[in-house]
Amino acid sequence: MSMICQMCGKGPTTGNQVSHSNRKTRRRWLPNLQTASVLVKGKETPMRVCTRCLRTNRKNRVTA
């Protein structure tokens, strides 16, 4: 399953992991995705959303 938020489209970012000796190797940061029930067109739908979307779109979230 892809690590992309289904609301905002946030995905993995890449960069360098830097050691104490200043050697650089490539690494990736994954978004913090959670499964949540979200109201879409009046129906409860499970979606994989990032925690930022969960916080800002709290009014659209279905409480279980």
- Beta-carbon contacts of 19 under 8 Å, excluding residues fewer than 6 positions away, are 25
**Full DSSP string of 21-63:** T--EEEEEE---EEEEEEEETTEEEEEEEEHHHHHHTGGGBPP
Task: With respect to residue 28, please indicate whether it lies within any of the assigned structural domains.
Answer: yes
Task: With respect to residue 2, please indicate whether it lies within any of the assigned structural domains.
Answer: no
Task: With respect to residue 21, please indicate whether it lies within any of the assigned structural domains.
Answer: yes
Task: With respect to residue 6, please indicate whether it lies within any of the assigned structural domains.
Answer: no
pLDDT of the residue at 1: 74
pLDDT digits 0-9 by tens, 5-55: 998 899 999 999 999 999 999 999 999 999 998 888 888 889 999 999 888
CATH classification of the domain holding 27: 2.30.170.40
Structural domain for 56, as ranges: 13-60
DSSP 8-state symbol, 13: E
Task: With respect to residue 34, please indicate whether it lies within any of the assigned structural domains.
Answer: yes
Q: Residue 63's pLDDT band (boundaries 50, 70, 90)?
A: low
Task: With respect to residue 53, please indicate whether it lies within any of the assigned structural domains.
Answer: yes
| Number of domains present in the structure of the chain | 1
